[in-house]
Structures are given as structure tokens and as C-alpha cells.
Structure 1
Amino acid sequence: MPSFRATVRVLWGNRPFRLFWTATTLDMLGHQLSWVALAWFTLQQTDSSLAIGGVMGMYLVTSVVASPLAGYLFDRGMRKRLLILDHVARGLLYALIPLLHWTDLLSYPLLVVLLSLAGLLAPLSTVGSQSVLPNFVRADQLETANAFSQLSWQLAVLVGPAVGGALTGLIGAPGTMLVNAALFILPAALLAAIPAKVYEGRQRERGRGGRAEGVSFREGWRFFLGTPPLVALTMASLLFNFAYGPLEPALPALVRDDWRAGPETLGLLWSALGIGTIVGTALWTRWPQRWAPAHTLGGVMAAWGVFTGGLYWIAHPVSGMVLLFLAGLTVAPYNVVALTLEQRLVPPHLRGRVFGLTTSLEQVGLPLGMLVGGWMASTLGNRMTLLLAGVVCVAVGVAVMMSPWLKGDKSACGGDTRAAQMPTKEWA
């Protein structure tokens, strides 16, 4: 079996994968820039952590609603066009925010509308990327490709918040949003350089030109409900997202109100989390373990709850950065393990619909967690909100570790990759 480093060299020599990875990284970098700028901008305009939860929550609510439709469209075909459309349209929407603000036309309700429209488009990339990634690599490279692709998010979390916080302090949140808009347009050019047939992969077998015949939502639901490990994995991620949600509105308010610091500090805190995830991914791929998914995923959730809940006792941003670094260190394997397991469970011609469905269900927890967290921060205080969210996360992690449906496929957690890639029912 080739080493992780050797597989990465092969992947980086794969031009379509390299272009796809670069586009995804720029996409996530733009997302992180906008998230810091939007949180600070909303806090300045409304002086309410609940308003932050409302803006971000509506973005995620519309993403949840649109995810099944995005998956259906990807199974129908035209994957390349859908990905390019998402990046161009979202870039234009983000550019409207500063333009409307500078002309005194931007109100809080209009900001929510613009973010809701961006949320409707976002699943074209989130669901689409999960669906098409296996078409860019060989089956025995899938886990490494997922680990490598997680660097898109991790590098964005490392660089994006710090740059976003610095830009917000230097040129203001509206100017930062304009920079962010450009970071959505550029990936569209990279995605356009990849041949359309690469996006289709083996799904082309379902119909000419990559168009599936007789595609229906019901088929995706039937497969999902008939696969207990997939249901268990989706519910675990939903609850994890719910427990994570309060951190988004509570952390900016904690920085400003409790620590008396500015957006630069907020950016550095998120970057500390990003550094932790990069280090954690490197360690995970270097020393793969033969743990069952239940133990890995549940342990990650419990550790995340301990470290983020520990912010309750922190009185200085530097100590907060240490805790978030440790949280990132332990959370890194989650997406690699969960996504690889999901891709192996779902046959290629169903990935769009099933991933659209699972993404929608998983993401329900995030806006709910943000909205509940914003309300809790306004009523119970920022510190208590983070502590209670941490306790919930630990409890859910312990329950996941006891799940009987996620204890079978140890290979998804970094065991023998060759065994994990053995086709099941001729699926790739």
C-alpha cells in the first residue's frame, strides 16, 4: 500500500484534482473572510449577538432547504455548469452587500435576504464537491483525497479569519466583503478549466453525456432509510452541528464584551482553531488507527465539547487560542472519517441525492444551534452559553461511541486502505 506522502504526490500530479482542490480552497477562504466580516458588521450595526445568529442562521436554513434539490440536479448532470454558476452568483451577492451599504440602502432585513439567497446557492458547491470528488481519483486514493481536501477548509480557517479580522480592522467589514466577492469569482475560472467529462466520472454510465434517466428523490430516500450506518452517521453529525452552533454568535460577543478586544483578536482565535485542525490532520494521516467509526467520531465530539466548553473559565484571549488550538487538533479526523465512510456506503449514481439529503439533515443542527446560541448568549451570557454547548457535545459524543451501527468499518478510520476500497455490490 503506498504511503500517504506518495499518494499525495500522485494526487498533486493529477491536474483536474489540483485545479479542483485549489478552487475549493479559495471558495472556503472567501467563506471564512465573509463570516468574520459579517459577524463583526452585524454586531456593530445591531449591537446584538442574536442578530448575528439570525443572519448566519438564515444562510444555513436556506442551505438546508436547497441541499436535496442541489443533489438531485447533480445526479441529473451538468455538474460543471452548476459549480461555476454557484461561485459566480454568490460572488455577485457578496459584492452587493458593501455596495448597498455605501449607498445607504442596506438594512438588516435586506442583509438577511442577500445571505439567504447565498445560502440557497451554496449547496451546489458543498453537496456537489462531495458527490464529484470520487470521480477525480482512483478508489484506493479516496481516503487520502478526502484528507487532502480537508486542508481546503483547514487552510481557510487558519488564514481566512486572521486576514478577515485584520482587513475588517483596516478597511472595515464592507471593504472586506468586496475582497471576499473576488475570492468567489476566481474559483469559477479554475473549475471551467477542468473537462466536463471528469466531473461525470462513472456516473456517465447511467445515461448519455452524464444525464441520468429516471432520477427521482424517492430512490435516494429509500437507500438512506435502508442503510442504518448512514442514518446513524447523519444523526451524529446533526447533533454535533447543533452543539457547535452556539460558538458562532457567542465567540464574537465574548471577544468584545468579556475580553474587551477587537476583530483582529476574533480572527486570531479562529486561526488558532485552523492551526489545530491542520496539525491534527497531519498526525491522523501519519499514524492511522484501527478504531471503529463510533469510537473515533464520538471521541472527537467529546473532546471538542471539553475544549470549547472550557472557554467558560478563560479570562484572556491567548488562553482562548490555546483551547481552540486543542479543539482543532482533536476535531480534525471527523470530516475525513465521516465523509470517506459516507462515500463508500453510497453508490455513484445516488451520491448527489443521498449527499443532498444527508447534508440537509446534518446542517439542520447548525442554524438551530446558532439561533439557540444567540438567544442564550443574550439571556444567560456568553460564557454560560459556551459551557452548556460543551456539555451537550460531550453527552452526544458518549452516545455516539456506544452506537452499534458505527462499530463495523474500522477501515474508514485509517485502517487497511486496500481492504476498505474493496468494491461492495460493484460500487466504486
Structure 2
Amino acid sequence: MTLWLNKQFLILLISGGILAVGNKIYELALPLILYDLTHSSVAMSVMRGIDFLPNLLLAAFIGVWVDRARKKLWSVFSVLVQLILLTTLYFWTAYGSPSIYVFYITGFLLMTLGYAYSNARVALVKLVLPGQHLTPANAAFSFLGTAIAIMGPALTGLILMLSDLNAGLLLTAIAFVPACLLILLLPADPEPSTVPRGNFRQELKEGWNELLRNRILKQITVLVIFLNSTTGMVDATIVFAAKDGLRLDNAALGLVLSAGGIGGLAGSLLISPLRCRFSIGHILGVTTLLSGLAYAVLYFAHNGLILATGLFFDGMFGTISSICIWTYRQESTPQHLIGRVSGITGSAFKLGMPFAILAAGWISQHYSPALVFGTAALLNIVMFIACRMSSLWSPRFTEELRISAH
């Protein structure tokens, strides 16, 4: 059976797309509503910053709960509680005056539940698909997510055109209803694990032991910590560089940022043939180097076209790299540990980002945004050299890294 004839995969893809659109709406709406209520850029920035916390602080623990639970019921529960939170916040805001802390807490809970659903979906994809379909499946999810991300400026405009910004919360809640119904169509998954259950700490330790046992995934995790750090530096600086340095207006900025999304779409289409020809270690090493060269293009950018070119290639190589990482993690992790390993690595992946983003802000303020891009380019080149010297590049591990690419 081909991937696109797999009913369970299509249910996961369509429901995931609906949820991604809904999530994008409320992620845009919450800071705008908060700013409309407080007229405080600080309050708006804090709301944005809360997006990082669930993944950084709770991902490993959520992984244990996902491994304990039936994935379908966990997914339905996560979506249903988000629906209830959004509906409650809509009516509270429409007919009351909630404090900013209500928005902060609700935002934190929504992001936590969103990550809980994402973790369960990783496990469900591994459960319903054979190994050879994991790469194209992840590419399809990435393509859909990137396409929706490109819609960000259009969705922002839609929200701003609403007579009541709070309606964005209600729109998201309504969108979550068909997604929840679709997930209910999935067949009941089997018992979460045949492995005897210990206490919470012991189960978490089992996830850590699995990661430490998997030498390749451990090396990839270390690489991704640094890759995400340089990506975070660039993402945190690009708007400031475009607006303050190049003096782009909002329309031009939207087009420039869309170039990164278009590059991501191209990467999603390229990954399957690349995976069939090359090992993940080689792909990760080369895309790390090429992302560094894309950052170098940003360093020398003196107009919007060059900036868009750098973002296009950054989006393409970053997407190829991300899909390889997700796929190898799914392929190499036992089913009963996938939630824990996904949670632990997901949390580890973000470890360097807060520090990198703070450093990028400091460098931009005291020196220039171009220096941030140059620093990110040099760091990626250093990472490529390290990758080239590691086991990821060794021919000895080529077949291990391919696993089920064909």
C-alpha cells in the first residue's frame, strides 16, 4: 500500500493540518489581544516567550505520559481541552476583564497541550506506518506545516480585519471540532507497552538510557542543540535587520519572510530522493554547511532580494535537516519508548535557544544585525567540521543511518 492510500495516515495529516491552522490563528491572536488590552510591548513579548517554556521544561515528562497512554485517547484529550480553554477565554474576554496573567497561564497550557498532541502524533505515525514510509510521511507533515506558516501574514491580516480580535480564539475553537472528530475515526491503538511499568522516575530514566544507548541519535541531539541555537539567532534578528537596516515596509517584509517558507516547501519535496541516495549523517553535515553559507548571504545582504535569497536557502536546507532528524528518531527508537525519547530530545533541542536569542539581541543592539548572521555562519561551519570528524560521517555507520530509507 502506498502512503497516500493509508487511511490512518490521511486522517493524521488532515487533522494535523486543521490543528496547525487553528494553532497559528491563536498564536497570532493572543499577543495581539493582549497588546490591544494593555498597549504594552513587554506584555506582548512575554506572551511570545511563553511559547518556548512547555517544550523546554515539560517535554521529557510529557513523553513519559504519552508512553503510558493510549495515543488516540491522549490526542483527543489534548485537542478537547484546548478547545475548552479557547472557548472559555473567548467568553471571559468578551464579557469580563481577565488579567494579563490569565492570558499567560492559558497560553502556557495551550502550548503544553499542543506539544502533548505533537508527541502523541509522532508515536501514532510510527505505529500506523511501515519504516519505509516514515521519511515521506514526515516530509508531508513538514510541507503542510510550512505552507501554513507561509499563510502567517495572511492570517494576521484576517485577524486584524475582524471587528473583535477575540473572535480569533473562537475561530480556533471551532476549527478544533472537526480535527477532534477526525482523530476519533482512528482505530483504537493497542496497549501502550508490554514492558512492566515502574515509577515515573524509573520510566523517565529508561528514556534517558535509550537515548544514551543510541550513539548516533545522541550525537545528532548534540548537533541539533547548536543548529537550533544558530537558527534562533537568525530568526530573532531577521525582522530587525529588514526593518531597521534595509528599511523594508511591511509588504516587502512579508514577501521576504515568505521566501523562507517557499524554501521549506522545496526542502520537503527534495528530502525523499536525497534520503534514498545518501545517509542521514552526510545529509546533516552538508545541510549544516549550506545553512552556514545561507547565513553568509544574509551577512552580505544589502537589499530585500538578497535577503530573500538567503532565507530561501536557509528554509530549504533547514527543512531537509529537520525531516532527517525526525525520521531517524522515529526509526531508531522502540515503539514503547518513542514518547519519552521524543520528549527528552525535544527538550534538549531547545537548550541553547534562549541564550542564543539573548546573545543575538545584545549583538544587534551594540554592534549590528549583520554580525549576528556572520557569527551564525561561522558557527555552522565549525559544526560541519565537527560533524565531518564524527561517527555521523564514517562509512561504518552509513547503513545504520539509512535504516529503512528504501
Distance 1:292 1:139, change over 3 A: closer
Residues 1-46 of structure 1: per-residue CA shift (max 9 Å, x gap): xxxxxx7xx2222211101011222233344445556677889944
| Mean Cα deviation higher: 394-403 or 102-111 | 102-111
Residues 185-234 of structure 1: per-residue CA shift (max 9 Å, x gap): 4422221221222xx4xx65617xxxx63472121112212221121111
1:384 matched to which residue of 2?
A: 371
Distance 1:109 1:368, change over 3 A: farther
1:162 matched to which residue of 2?
A: 153
On the 8 A contact 2:288/2:384 being kept in 1, the answer is: yes
Matched residue SS, 2:350: helix
User: CA RMSD of the aligned region, Å?
Assistant: 3.5
Aligned equivalents of 2:16, 2:161: Cα separation in 1:
27
Question: Which aligned pairs between 1:262-273 and structure 2 lie closer than 5 A?
Answer: 263-273=250-260
Aligned equivalents of 2:17, 2:348: Cα separation in 1:
24
Distance 1:189 1:256, change over 3 A: farther
1:355 matched to which residue of 2?
A: 342
- Give the superposition deviation at 1:359: 1.1
Residues 372-409 of structure 1: per-residue CA shift (max 9 Å, x gap): 43444444444433333333233223322322246454
Matching residue within 256, 262, 269 for 1:282 = 269
Question: Which aligned pairs between 1:96-245 and structure 2 lie closer than 5 A?
Answer: 105=97, 111-158=103-150, 160-167=151-158, 170-171=161-162, 176=168, 179-197=171-189, 200=190, 204=192, 206=194, 213-214=197-198, 216-245=203-232
Matched residue SS, 2:386: helix
Matched residue SS, 1:364: coil
Distance 1:411 1:40, change over 3 A: farther
| Mean Cα deviation higher: 386-395 or 29-38 | 29-38
2:382 matched to which residue of 1?
A: 395
On the 8 A contact 2:67/2:192 being kept in 1, the answer is: no
Aligned equivalents of 2:217, 2:65: Cα separation in 1:
21
On the 8 A contact 1:241/1:363 being kept in 2, the answer is: yes
Matching residue within 314, 333, 341 for 2:320 = 333
On the 8 A contact 1:232/1:406 being kept in 2, the answer is: no
Aligned equivalents of 2:252, 2:33: Cα separation in 1:
15
User: Identical aligned pairs, as a percentage?
Assistant: 20
Distance 1:392 1:278, change over 3 A: same
- Give the superposition deviation at 1:278: 1.6
Amino acid at match of 2:206: E
| Mean Cα deviation higher: 138-147 or 334-343 | 138-147
Distance 1:18 1:384, change over 3 A: same
On the 8 A contact 1:246/1:373 being kept in 2, the answer is: yes
Q: How many residues align?
A: 399
Residues 252-287 of structure 1: per-residue CA shift (max 9 Å, x gap): 333443344455544433432222122222233245
2:279 matched to which residue of 1?
A: 292
Matching residue within 388, 410, 416 for 2:398 = 410
Aligned equivalents of 2:285, 2:227: Cα separation in 1:
10
User: Structure 2 unaligned runs (5+)?
Assistant: none
Distance 1:356 1:287, change over 3 A: closer
Matching residue within 11, 16, 21 for 2:3 = 11
Amino acid at match of 1:305: G
Distance 1:357 1:104, change over 3 A: same
- Give the superposition deviation at 1:314: 2.8
**TM-score computed with the length of structure 2 as normaliser:** 0.83
Amino acid at match of 2:381: V
Aligned equivalents of 2:169, 2:159: Cα separation in 1:
9
Aligned equivalents of 1:300, 1:313: Cα separation in 2:
20
Matched residue SS, 2:351: helix
On the 8 A contact 1:63/1:122 being kept in 2, the answer is: no
Amino acid at match of 2:154: V
On the 8 A contact 1:83/1:128 being kept in 2, the answer is: yes
Aligned equivalents of 1:51, 1:379: Cα separation in 2:
23
Structure 1 runs, 4 residues or longer, greater than 6 Å off: 38-44, 95-104, 412-416
On the 8 A contact 1:291/1:413 being kept in 2, the answer is: no
Aligned equivalents of 1:309, 1:20: Cα separation in 2:
38
User: Structure 1 unaligned runs (5+)?
Assistant: 1-6, 419-428
Matched residue SS, 1:18: helix
Distance 1:403 1:353, change over 3 A: same
Question: Which aligned pairs between 1:44-123 and structure 2 lie closer than 5 A?
Answer: 45-47=39-41, 52=45, 54-91=46-83, 93=85, 105=97, 111-123=103-115
